[in-house]
Amino acid sequence: MLYENKYIKIEIEKSQIPWLKIFTQIPYKEFSSCDLKTKEEILKTLDIIEETMLDFFKPEKINIASFGNYLPLLHFHIMARFKNDNFFPEPMWGVKQRENELKLPSFKEFYKILLAKLD
């Protein structure tokens, strides 16, 4: 667990790329089921994470996804994507395109910066 408040929690997905997941504290199944404050908190947090990933990692693209087919709880994946990551341009759930080691700035430093913006 990286962060949590009354409405949401943020978890780290272990991966080659910077990848975070936002979950709601109440186990909603769909975004439309959320109360307004939870929706606002999700959108605000998505925006902060995306901007921080863009500034810190300088990725090719940010991917934001919400599937919930295997885990039927509302949650969002936020991923910084790079042209030379193992799956690009495929989704991270897609067919691996290459075996490559990325040289990225410190994830721990990114988490510190992000946490300061979330508080």
CATH number at residue 32: 3.30.428.10
pLDDT band at 49 (very low <50, low <70, confident <90, very high): very high
Residue 46 CA: distances (Å) to CA of 57, 83, 108: 16, 22, 19
* Tens of pLDDT, residues 4-48: 999 999 999 999 999 999 999 999 999 999 999 999 999 999 999
pTM: 0.95
Boundaries of domain holding 51:
3-118
- Alpha-carbon distance of 99 to 96, in angstroms, equals 8
pLDDT of residue 72: 83
Q: How many domains is the chain partitioned into structurally?
A: 1
* Tens of pLDDT, residues 50-72: 999 999 999 999 999 998 778 78
pLDDT of residue 43: 98
